[in-house]
Amino acid sequence: MSYLEFLGQYGDRILSGTLVTILLTVLASMLAMAIALAAGLMRMARSPIVRGVAVVYIEIFRGTSLLVQLYWIFFVLPLFGITLEKFTAGFVAVGMNLGAYGAELVRGAILSVPRGQWEAALALNMSPAKRMVRVILPQAVVIMLPSWGNLLIELLKGTALVALIAVTDLMFQVKQINGTTFLSAEAFGTALIVYYVLARFMITPFMRWLERVMQRRLGRA
Amino acid sequence: MTNEPLQETGAADAATPMVSFRKVTKSYGRLVVLDSLDLDVAEGEMVSIIGPSGSGKTTVLRMLMTLETINGGVIYVDGQPLTHMPKGGQLVPASDRHLRQMRSKIGMCFQHFNLFPHMTALENCMEGPVHVLGLSKAEARERSEQLLEMVGMADKRNQHPSRLSGGQQQRVAIARALAMRPKVMLFDEVTSALDPEVIGEVTNVIRKLVSEHHLTMLMVTHQMGFAKDISDRVCFFYGGRIEEQGTPEQIFGNPRRERTRQFLSAVKEAV
Ligand SMILES: Nc1ncnc2c1ncn2[C@@H]1O[C@H](COP(=O)(O)OP(=O)(O)OP(=O)(O)O)[C@@H](O)[C@H]1O
Ligand SMILES: [Mg+2]
């Protein structure tokens, strides 16, 4: 069977798997960004309790394996009465894991906004929330965008693990094809290429574009 | 609330200093930066603060802007304690609400401008009026455009700070502070980061403020000529205290203290 024949026969399944992977990536990214923002801000809160919650969260999700977290969310949480459908469990696990890494990016970026910006905002008598939202965060976003590009590629690659709880993503599909046809090189070779293309030709250009938009908002482009 | 004990003239508000430091002490660890400082600034007065590096000049302004905590004493602004409030006959640390109310009386310009880089000149000026004072966009725009006009930056109002020279940024920063209608303006070495040829743009704006507006101003500066020209009073700081103060004529023409003389002659040589 030539590679073209292979694609002709299994292209549909690879495509549908790819779409599931893209959807997982988009949803997990949004969740990761929301969690990163919340945990990053909580990490800097005045209250030691709030700070503590964020630290524990970040430590647990960065310090343990994504696969174990995925199994916890899918197999263990139901024992406590929280049952998630497998697709949901998949993107929630990936989003929560990468969100913990993102939290440190958020915190680092906020801390690297020059002190003078906080001081100018205080001198204008802005409330702490206004200072953060109107002055600090817009600048922190610009600072952390390049690192988010890398993180989102990690996230995309991380989504491959959800095949292990039978979410029908790209990895799941190629494993199935391999299982029935034993065309391992074709099946896993295609998966490599698709993940690479998604990372390099979709995520990277998208992040570059975002960076340019942000630079323009600073009048720098 | 003019319960100022040291106020000798029984007369009402006119005699209350706009700013008043009472035995204010500031230290970082064991380093005492301001040592029991007493300083009164009358309403509408322009006071220049000069002195060697590390003598506490910036600290005085930063404490007034509530950017630094104070370790002892009380600062009064417009008759009210700044970082304290009266409660049951005693002064207790101020609530956030009190602090915000006091801060609204004070504006500050910094050595490095600190404009918000993601906003245009106009947006920088409108930010406070809209998001702190609660003015409508239209009112804030009108107020900001007038001020940008006054500092000669109307034609650049839609530029981001990265497109402006240092002198232009500092003029926008002055307009931004004035847009909050403070009673007291603080200038911390606002010309020190500027190229010599644009210093005049900024000092001219400050001159204009002095001559046309009834603002109380405290200015830290290393430009002795400028301080001499526009100040009502000059304070020479040394080691966290006011070593000598007086009219510009007296301080620059006839300094009484040895340290003042030394400092002024050292500055003169450097020029
Ligand atoms: N955050 C800080 N921590 C420790 N020491 C500080 C801090 N800020 C200022 N100081 C010290 O306080 C002293 C007074 O500083 P300040 O900035 O008020 O001096 P200045 O008179 O403005 O000097 P310059 O002319 O160099 O600006 C200096 O010895 C300085 O090192
Ligand atoms: Mg200074």
Predicted model pTM: 0.89
Q: Indicate if the pLDDT at residue A150 is higher than 60.
A: yes
Q: How many angstroms separate the CA atoms of A184 and A13, rounded?
A: 15
Q: B176 in contact with A at a CB cutoff of 8 Å?
A: yes
Which residues, in sequence order, are CB contacts of B258 under 8 Å at separation 6+? none
- The pLDDT value given to residue B5: 43
Determine the pLDDT at residue B13: 57
pLDDT grade for A154, boundaries at 50, 70 and 90: very high
Contact list in B for residue A116 (CB cut-off 8 A) is 110, 112, 114
Give the confidence band of B34 by pLDDT, cuts at 50, 70, 90. very high
pLDDT at B8 over 60: no
pLDDT at B86: 84
CA B156/CA B250 separation, integer angstroms: 41
8 A C-beta contact, residue B175 and residue B126: no
Mean pLDDT along residues A103-111: 97
Give the per-residue pLDDT at A20.
Answer: 97
Residue A133 contacts B, CB cutoff 8 Å: no
Q: Judged by CB atoms within 8 Å, which residues 101-140 of B form the interface with A?
A: 103-104, 106-108, 110, 112, 114-118, 120, 127-128, 131-132
Which residues of B are less than 8 Å from A140 in CB distance? none
Closest approach of chain B CAs to the CA of A37, in angstroms?
A: 20
- Residue B140 has a CB neighbour count (10 Å cut-off) of 22
List, as own/partner pairs, every contact residues A135-139 make where C-beta atoms lie below 8 angstroms and the sequence separation is at least 24, other chains included.
Answer: A135/B116, A136/A110, A137/A110, A138/A217, A138/B118, A139/A113, A139/B117, A139/B118
Please identify, by atom number, the ligand 1 atom nearest to the C-alpha of residue B220.
22
Least confident of A30-34, A113-117, B4-8, B178-182: B4-8
Instruction: Give the Å distance between the CA of B189 and the centre of ligand 2.
Output: 7
Asked if B115 and A138 come within 8 Å (Cβ–Cβ), the reply is: no
What average pLDDT score do residues A100-116 get? 97
Task: Report which of residues B268 and A85 the model is more confident about.
Answer: A85
Query: Mean of the pLDDT values across residues B34-52?
Result: 96
Query: Which residues neighbour A24 within 8 Å (Cβ) at sequence distance 6 or greater?
Result: A87, A90, A91, A94, A159, A162, A167, A169
Write down the pLDDT at residue B268: 81
pLDDT single digits (tens) A185-199:
999 999 999 999 999
What was the ipTM of the complex prediction?
0.90
What kind of fold does domain A3-217 have according to CATH?
MetI-like fold (1.10.3720)
CB-based contacts of A202, cutoff 8 Å, min separation 6: none
Radius of gyration, CA atoms only, chain A: 21
Tell me the CA–centroid distance for residue B27 and ligand 2, in Å.
15
The partner residues of B236 in beta bridges, in order of sequence, read B50, B244
Q: Which of B30, B35, B57, B219 to mutate to test the pocket of ligand 1 (most atoms within 8 A of CB)?
A: B57
- Asked if the C-beta of A30 comes within 8 angstroms of chain B's C-beta atoms, the answer is no
Q: Residue B11 pLDDT more than 70? A: no
Please determine, for residue B9, whether its predicted confidence score (pLDDT) is greater than 70.
no
Section B209-218 average pLDDT: 91
Residue with the bigger pLDDT between A123 and B89: it is A123
**What's the confidence (pLDDT) of residue A32?**
98
For B47, the token pair is 């006071």
Q: Is B67 on the interface with A (CB under 8 A)?
A: yes
pLDDT of the residue at B271: 60
Q: Give the up-direction half-sphere exposure of residue B202: CA atoms within 13 A in the CB hemisphere.
A: 31
**Residue that has been written with the tokens 């007038």 in this structure:** B146
Burial of B48 from C-beta contacts in 10 A (0-12 / 13-18 / 19+): buried
In this structure, the number of other CB atoms found within 10 A of the CB of residue A201 comes to 10
Work out the pLDDT band at B10, boundaries 50, 70, 90.
very low
The predicted structure's pLDDT at residue A221? 57
The string of DSSP codes covering B49-80 is: EE-STTSSHHHHHHHHTTSS--SEEEEEETTE
Test B176 with A124 for CB contact under 8 angstroms: yes
Alpha carbon distance A17, A168 (integer Å): 6
SS3 of A183, please?
A: coil
Query: Measured between beta carbons, which residues in chain A are less than 8 angstroms from residue B115?
Result: 120
Angstrom distance (rounded) from CA A79 to CA A137: 39
Would the pLDDT of A218 be above 90?
A: no
| Local structure of residue A72 (DSSP, 8 states) | I
Residue for token digits 């981001």? B160
> Distance between CA B62 and CA B68 in Å, rounded?
6
| Confidence band of B178 (pLDDT split at 50, 70, 90) | very high
Where does B166-252 have alpha helices with state H? 166-178, 196-212, 224-230, 248
In this structure, what token pair is assigned to residue B222? 């290393």
CB contact under 8 A, B110 and A124: no
List all residues 6 or more positions away from A114 whose beta carbon is below 8 Å from its beta carbon. B114
Q: Are A106 and A40 in contact (CB under 8 A)?
A: yes
Q: Are A102 and A33 in contact (CB under 8 A)?
A: yes
Binary contact (B116, A142; C-beta < 8 A) = no
Separation CA A176–CA A136 (nearest Å): 48
**Which of ligand 1's atoms lies nearest the C-alpha of B52?**
25
Q: What is the mean pLDDT of chain A?
A: 94
The pLDDT > 90 percentage for chain B reads 85
**Chain B partners within 8 Å of A124 (Cβ):** 127-128, 132, 176-177, 180
Of the residues B102, B108, B114, the best mutation for testing chain A's interface (the one with the most A CB atoms within 10 Å of its CB) is: B114
**B61 neighbors B220 (Cβ within 8 angstroms):** yes
Pocket lined around ligand 1, Cβ cut-off 6 Å = B 28, 31, 33, 51, 53-59
Instruction: Determine how β-strand B46-50 pairs with β-strand B84-87.
Output: unpaired
- Whether B265 has a pLDDT exceeding 80, the answer reads yes
Strand, coil or helix: what is B137?
Answer: helix
Q: From the CA of B110, how far away is ligand 2's center (Å)?
A: 10
Q: How far is the CA of A93 from the CAs of A20, A56, A65, A111, A188, in angstroms?
A: 15, 16, 11, 28, 24
For residue A178, name the pLDDT band (cuts at 50, 70, 90): very high
Instruction: Compute how many other C-beta atoms are within 10 angstroms of the C-beta atom of residue B43.
Output: 17
Question: Is the model's pLDDT at B6 over the cut of 50?
Answer: no
- Per-residue confidence band for B3, with pLDDT thresholds at 50, 70 and 90: very low
What is the pLDDT, as a whole number, of residue B245? 96
Q: pLDDT tens-digit profile of B127-169?
A: 999 999 999 999 999 999 999 999 999 999 999 999 999 999 9
